């Protein structure tokens, strides 16, 4: 089947099989390897992408469900000049990663939160990020990075 959707701001038409997951299509056909696949059971958050600005687990989300929608991956966050999104920069500034495997999913999940409300409390951040697991860093640098990005995004509004 053919599906049309917006991928990182660009109109996209792909031929897919109905059984393919969004993660399979994004990684395999679109070569967007920032979409990580780990648990394949919607538990770890590594495969998180945004569909119409909402976080979804691409490992279990069927690709045909994005017809007519906007999909954003980590590769689509930097602006056209290559300037990183404030969350990406904050993760670098705060060393909120080690191996980096969970980082794209963490950043996209945090983006969905900050797009809704950049005036968040630590408790709200922790609750929202609950579905994204990191096996390396501990969570304090991640929390610090999200707080930094929230402050910057508030200043941009």
Q: What are the pLDDT digits (tens) for 6-16?
A: 999 999 999 99
Report d(CA 123, CA 147) in Å as an integer.
Answer: 11
Q: Quick check: helix, strand or coil at residue 11?
A: strand
Angle between helices 103-116 and 86-93 (to 10 degrees): 130
Contact 67, 3 (CB under 8 A): yes
Nearest to 111 by CA among 88, 133, 144: 88
pLDDT of residue 155: 85
Q: Quick check: helix, strand or coil at residue 58?
A: coil
| Beta bridge pairs of residue 56 | 49
> Which regions of the chain carry the CATH code 3.10.20.30?
2-76
Contact 51, 69 (CB under 8 A): yes
> Which regions of the chain carry the CATH code 1.10.150.120?
86-156
Residues of the chain with pLDDT under 70: 157
Look at the alpha carbons of 133, 136, 139, 144 in this order and tell me if their dihedral is positive or negative. Answer: negative
pLDDT of residue 59: 96
**May I ask the CATH class of domain 2-76?**
alpha beta
Report d(CA 78, CA 99) in Å as an integer.
Answer: 21
pLDDT of residue 157: 64
Give the global pTM. Answer: 0.94
Report the topology of domain 86-156: DNA polymerase; domain 1 (1.10.150)
Pairing of strands 70-72, 48-51: antiparallel
């Amino acid at each position: 089947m053919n599906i049309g959707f917006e991928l990182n701001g660009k109109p996209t038409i792909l031929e897919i099989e109905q059984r393919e997951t969004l993660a399979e299509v994004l990684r395999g056909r679109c070569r967007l390897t920032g979409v990580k696949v780990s648990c394949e059971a919607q538990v770890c958050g590594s495969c998180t992408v945004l569909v119409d600005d909402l976080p979804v687990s691409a490992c279990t989300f069927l690709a045909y469900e994005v017809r007519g929608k906007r999909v954003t991956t980590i590769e689509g966050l930097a602006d056209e000049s290559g300037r990183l999104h404030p969350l990406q920069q904050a993760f670098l500034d705060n060393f909120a990663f080690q191996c980096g495997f969970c980082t794209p999913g963490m950043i996209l999940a945090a983006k969905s939160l900050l797009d809704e409300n950049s005036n968040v409390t630590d408790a709200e951040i922790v609750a929202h990020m609950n579905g994204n697991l990191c096996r390396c860093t501990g969570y304090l640098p991640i929390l610090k990075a999200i707080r930094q990005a929230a402050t910057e995004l508030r200043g941009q509004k």
